């Protein structure tokens, strides 16, 4: 990490300035959630993604949690396409709170990641707690400064997040599993969007999700440079044809959706 940049690595490493001075790291990805409480502070996992929001000159880190947290009375229940849009349950009461300074670990701080666990979600055995999607937004352009932190509970395994920057939200598609869901459902994709405008201000924010079944990996349109789409334009979401879990590797179609989020009424998301 340096004064204007941030990166996530799958292997242990450090970041230096042009003089060779270590500026920060290496640390586990969940170090950004130190003192936040909840599952995002307690757990860490792979597939962490960092993005630069060039429209706001901020940094966004998205961290999915592949292990379940404790059972909660308010945890979300699994839903499907017919249920429409669902607003995610807040993970930490009062989030995000004040911008938290970047934790500076002492020299003896353990930076070695835990041993890799099983990537695929385990079979249900008794009551199961929720998964989580963790967001950290820099409070300013310097990633060495303060961060706003958010946790949203997910009922389904939040695999392969691919965050995209759009004026009305951070669009984050994910997948439920590397295996078939059932005999009738091969794949289950989550099309989610987080409330970007509120997050940039460090205010209480929401996440909305819908489920799309039997399609390939979803990818959302992303801002290129600082040119804005027309005001109110929906985000374009695409998926290549075929389904790898059904061994369908050749197809003649590309699936395209216009993804519109309505923060005043989640039922009007379309």
Higher-confidence residue of 10 and 233: namely 233
Query: Any idea which residue has 């500076």 for tokens?
Result: 104
- Condensed to tens digits (0 to 9), the pLDDT of residues 212-232 reads 998 888 999 999 999 999 998
How high is the pLDDT of residue 204?
Answer: 97
For all residues of the chain together, what is the average pLDDT? 85
pLDDT at 165 over 70: yes
Q: How far is the C-alpha of 145 from the C-alpha of 241, rounded, in Å? A: 43
Whole-number percent of the chain with pLDDT over 70: 83
Residue 269 confidence (pLDDT): 57
Map tokens 């597939």 to a residue: 47
99 Cβ neighbours under 8 A, 6+ residues apart: 139, 145, 146, 147, 148, 202
Q: What is the pLDDT of residue 251?
A: 79
> Is the distance from CB of 88 to CB of 209 less than 8 angstroms?
yes
Q: Is the pLDDT of residue 258 over 90?
A: yes
From 167-176, 179-188, 199-208, the region with the lowest mean pLDDT: 179-188
Give mean pLDDT, residues 33-55.
93
Name every residue whose Cβ is closer than 8 Å to that of residue 256 and which is 6 or more positions away in sequence: 236, 237, 238
Mean pLDDT, residues 191-202: 97
Q: What is the pLDDT of residue 1?
A: 45
Average pLDDT over residues 80-109: 89
pLDDT at 3: 42
**Predicted local confidence at residue 138, as pLDDT:** 96
23: confidence class by pLDDT, cuts 50, 70, 90: confident
> Which tops the pLDDT comparison, 182 or 35?
35
Across 226-246, average pLDDT: 88
Among 44-48, 137-141, 227-231, 253-257, whose mean pLDDT is lowest?
Answer: 44-48
What is the band of 39 on the pLDDT scale with cuts at 50, 70, 90? very high
Q: What is the pLDDT of residue 2?
A: 40
Is the pLDDT reported for residue 247 higher than 60?
A: yes
Q: Please tell me the predicted confidence (pLDDT) of residue 8.
A: 56
């Amino acid at each position: 990490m340096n004064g204007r940049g941030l990166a996530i690595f799958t292997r242990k490493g450090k970041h230096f300035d042009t003089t060779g001075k270590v500026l920060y790291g290496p640390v586990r990805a969940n170090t950004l959630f130190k003192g936040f409480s909840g599952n995002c502070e307690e757990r860490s996992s792979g597939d962490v993604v960092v993005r630069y929001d060039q429209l706001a000159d901020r940094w966004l880190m998205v961290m999915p949690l592949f292990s379940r947290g404790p059972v909660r009375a308010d945890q979300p229940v699994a839903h499907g396409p017919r249920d429409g849009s669902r607003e995610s349950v807040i993970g930490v009461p009062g989030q995000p709170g004040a911008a938290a300074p970047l934790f500076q670990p002492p020299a003896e701080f353990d930076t070695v990641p835990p041993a890799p666990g099983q990537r695929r979600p385990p079979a249900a055995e008794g009551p199961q707690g929720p998964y989580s999607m963790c967001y950290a937004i820099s409070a300013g352009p310097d990633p060495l400064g303060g961060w706003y932190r958010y946790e949203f509970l997910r009922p389904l395994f939040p695999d392969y997040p691919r965050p995209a920057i759009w004026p009305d939200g951070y669009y984050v598609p994910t997948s439920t599993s590397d295996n078939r869901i059932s005999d009738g459902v091969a794949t289950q994709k989550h099309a989610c969007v987080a409330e970007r405008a509120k997050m940039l201000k460090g205010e209480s924010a929401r996440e909305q999700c819908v489920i799309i079944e039997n399609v390939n990996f979803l990818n959302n349109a992303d801002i290129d440079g600082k040119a804005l789409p027309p005001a109110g334009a929906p985000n374009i979401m695409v998926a290549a044809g075929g389904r790898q879990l059904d061994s369908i590797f050749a197809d003649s179609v590309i699936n395209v959706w216009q993804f519109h989020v309505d923060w005043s009424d989640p039922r009007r998301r379309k």
